Amino acid sequence: MFLGKGTLMAFSHGSQRTRAGGIKINSSSWSRTRKHVPQVSPDSTAALSIFSYHLISCRKSVLSMAPTSVNVESAAALSDPSAAEKHDKHEPVLLNHVAHDAQEATEGQKNMSVMESFRAYPKSVAFSMVLSLCIVMEAYDTSLIGNFYGLPQFRQRFGVRLENGDYQLTSTWQSGLQNATQVGQMIGLFIGGIVAERYGYKKTFLGALVLNIAFVFLFFFAQNIGYLLAGGLLCGLPWGAFQALTTTYAADVTPMALRPIMTTYTNMCWVIGQFIGTGILRGLLSRPDDWAWRIPYAIQWVFPLPIMVGVILAPESPTWLVRKGRLTDARNALRRLASSSTKDAELDVSIAMIAHTNEMERLNSEGTSYIDCFRGTNLRRTMIACFVWVGQVACGIWFGGNVIYFLQQAGFDSDNSFNFGLGTTAIAIVGTFLSWFLLPHVGRRTLYVVGLCVMFTVLVIVGGMGIPAPRPDLGWASGALLMVFVITYDMTVGPTCYCLVAEIPSTRLRIKTVAIARNAYLLASIGANFLNPPIINPSAWNLRGKGGFIWAGICFCELVWAYFCLPEPKGRSPAELELLFENRVSARKFAQTKVEVFADNMERDEKHDGPMTVRIEGN
C-alpha cells in the first residue's frame, strides 16, 4: 500500500463492523474481537499502538519534535510493552480523526496517476523489473525443450528414427520431459511459499538462484535423455519458487496505479525469454554437432549472477516485514523504494495502511498457512486465482502457441518455421505492452473474457481449416491465424492472469495463494502435455489443425466460468477487496459495489455481529 501526498491515517487495535457500511476503528473494538483471534505478541501490539499514536499526533503537531508527556509515554511503551495499556487512555480522543484520515488516504492513493506513482516510487519499479528477470531466465530455460523438438541435431541425438529416415522424439518422451519440469515446479512452489513466508523473499530468491546454477549441469552434460528428465525435475524446484516470488514481490512493493503494469510485466518476461531462446536456436541451426543444443543450455549460466546482484541490492518486501512486526525495517525498506522527495510522514502513513490491511485480514482469517487459503472467504479467493491461472492452459495456448512444431508438420522447413516463431514471439511482446494501456480503462475481467471469446473463435476456424488435405496455402493461413491467437493471448489472458492472481488474494496469504494457483496451472499443464503431442504428432493421432476443435471445447468451458465467476478488482484496495469477499458480493456486481472501509462518525452497534452492509448501485 502506498499513499498520495498530504494524506494521513492511523492503525488501531481492532475493527468493528457496522450497519452503516464501513469499518469503525476504535480501541474498544479490540476487546470485543480479541477472544476470537490469536493474540499478537505484546511487543507487536505496543509497537503498532505507539506507531498509530504518532501518526495521529502528526495531524495536530506536524511532526513536532518537542518533548511532551505523551511522547515520553510513547518512548516508555516502546521499551516496555506493558506500557501500551497505559498509552491506550489517549486513543478514545485521538481516534476520532482516524476514520476521516484513513478515508482520505485511500482516496489519495486511488487518485494517483501512473506517472505520479512512478515519480514517488521509481525504485520500486526498478527493483521489481530486476527481480522479474528470473522469469526471463526461466522462460528461456523452459522454452528450450519445446523448441528442441524442431531442432534436427537434438532430434537425431535423443530421438528415434522414423520410416522416412527422419528422427523424432516419441510423444511419450515429449510428454515425460515437459511433465518432469512441471512436477519439479509444483514442489518448488509449495516449498518456496513456506520458505519465503519464514525467511523473506530475498533469501528465498538467492537460494533458488544457487540451485538453478547447480542443476543446469545435468542439461549441459547430458549423455542420454534420462539426464534431461532429471535436469528438468530438479531445475523445476527453483523455477517454481521464481513463479510465486516475482509476482508477489511486484504486488507488494508497487503502488496501486503501477501494480497492474508490474504484475503483467511478468508475462512480458516470459515472452522475452522465449524470444531469446528461439533466436539463439535459430542462429545455431547450421551447426551439425551436439553444440547446437549444448550452447543454449550453457547460456543458462549467464542469467543468475546479475540477478543475484539485483536481489542483494533490493529491499525486502515491506508487506512481509509488517507481517513479522518489523515496522522500523518496513519503513526503511519503503524509504529505499521511494524517491528522495517523498516525505517521511508519507512513508509512515503507507506503513500504517499496510498494517491496517494486515490486521483486517488477520481478524477475518487467523493464520498464514496453506490450509488457511481454503478456509472461509479465502476459499473463494483461492478458487478464483486457480481458475484464472488454469485459463492460461484452457484457452488453447498449448495448441496455438506451438507455432514452430505445428508449421513444420504442415510442411514448413526448419528455417522458415523458426523465422515464423520469432515473428510470433515479437508480436507477443507488443501484445503485452498494449495490455498496459487497456487494463486501466477496460478492466481485468472484461479483458480476460473478451480474450477468451476471440481465442475460441480462432480455434474453431483453425479446426475447420484442418479438415481438408494439407496444402501450402492452408498452412500459411493457419500460421497467420495462430499469430492472431498469440497476440490476443498476450494482450488479454496472458498478462491479465498475473494481475488477477496478485490482486485477488489477501495480502497475508498472497504468496501461498499464488503458489496454489500456479500449481493448479501446472496440473492443467501436465494434462495438456499429454493431450497436445498426440494431437499434432504424425506418429500418434496426427489431427493437425483439427485439434483446434478439441481445444475450442476446453476454451469454451473456461469462458463460461469467467463470465459467471470472475470478479473485477480494478481500482480496489486490498482492504476493499477484503470486505467485498467477506460480504460474498457476486462476481458480476463487484464493479458496481460501493464499499466504505472507513466510515466517519459512526456509532457502535452492539447488537450487530454479522457482515457489514455494502451499497450496490445498479442491478
- Domain with residue 162: its CATH number is 1.20.1250.20
Q: Please write the tens of the pLDDT for every residue from 432-452.
A: 999 999 988 899 999 999 999
- The total number of structural domains in the chain stands at 2
Do 244 and 189 share a structural domain? yes
Q: Please write the tens of the pLDDT for every residue from 380-403.
A: 999 999 999 999 999 999 888 766
> What's the grid cell of residue 442?
477496460
The answer, yes or no, to whether residue 542 has pLDDT greater than 90, is: no
Do 88 and 161 share a structural domain? no
Q: How confident is the model at residue 341 (pLDDT cuts 50, 70, 90)?
A: confident
Is residue 589 in a domain? no
Q: CA-CA distance, 380 to 376, in Å (whole number)?
A: 8
Closest to 425 measured CA to CA, from 270, 243, 260, 263: 270
The answer to whether the CB of 289 falls within 8 A of the CB of 152 is no
Is residue 590 in a domain? no
Higher pLDDT: 426 or 32? It is: 426
Q: Please write the tens of the pLDDT for every residue from 121-179.
A: 889 999 999 999 999 999 998 888 777 877 788 888 888 887 777 788 887 888 788 88
Is residue 410 in a domain? yes
> What's the grid cell of residue 79?
521499551
Is residue 218 in a domain? yes
Rounded to an integer, the average pLDDT of 296-320 is: 94
- What pLDDT does 409 receive? 60
Rounded to an integer, the average pLDDT of 301-309 is: 94
Cβ atoms within 10 Å, residue 303: 22
Higher pLDDT: 44 or 325? It is: 325
Do 538 and 500 share a structural domain? yes
The answer, yes or no, to whether residue 488 has pLDDT greater than 50, is: yes
- What pLDDT does 410 receive? 60
pTM of the full structure: 0.76
Do 462 and 550 share a structural domain? yes
Do 122 and 107 share a structural domain? no
- What pLDDT does 154 receive? 85
Do 525 and 417 share a structural domain? yes
- What pLDDT does 176 receive? 85
Is residue 613 in a domain? no
Is residue 3 in a domain? no
- What pLDDT does 366 receive? 60
Q: CA-CA distance, 59 to 529, in Å (whole number)?
A: 59
Q: Please write the tens of the pLDDT for every residue from 134-146.
A: 999 999 988 887 7
Is residue 2 in a domain? no
What is the domain range of residue 61? 15-111+328-364
- What pLDDT does 114 receive? 81
User: Cα 448–454–456 angle (5° rounding)?
Assistant: 100
